[in-house]
Amino acid sequence: MLKTISITQIYVPDQDAALDFYVGKLGFEVQTDMDFGPMRFLTVALPTDPGHAVLLEKPGAPAMSEETAAQVLELVSKGAAGGHLFFTCDDAYRTHTELKERGVEITEEPVDQPYGIDFGLRDPFGNHVRIAQMKEA
């Protein structure tokens, strides 16, 4: 029976720039960085949740042709590739302020929702990120 999600994947055109953003600005840590010949297997995880990693995958061989990879990157840049990451935090307003101070471009300011307070941003490549302070049940 399925038990947990261990890796979530998003597409990025530049894995080093993705490290700068996810590690340098959002506070992730590198979990795996391996060269597998035609691809670099690069995962990052939050220090508070090392069991769930994000694969920062550059589209291309061996999974797809150069033509397909170019199409995928175009969709990512438009925010239309389906790359979404959802995170929780203890204090949405404090997290929002800290991320802005680190130079993260916030696309949606914090809003009080029925489930909590959340806000949105996009990574430098177009993937959507949502951060929420959940209400207690």
As given in the structure block, the two tokens for residue 102 are 């680190």
CATH topology of domain 7-134: 2,3-Dihydroxybiphenyl 1,2-Dioxygenase; domain 1 (3.10.180)
The string over 5-17, giving b where at least 16 C-beta atoms fall within 10 Å of a residue's C-beta and e elsewhere, is eeeeebbbbebee
Residue 78: pLDDT band (50, 70, 90) is confident
Global pTM reads 0.91
For residue 4, pLDDT beyond 90? no
Residue 81 C-alpha from the chain's centroid: 13
Predicted pLDDT of residue 77: 86
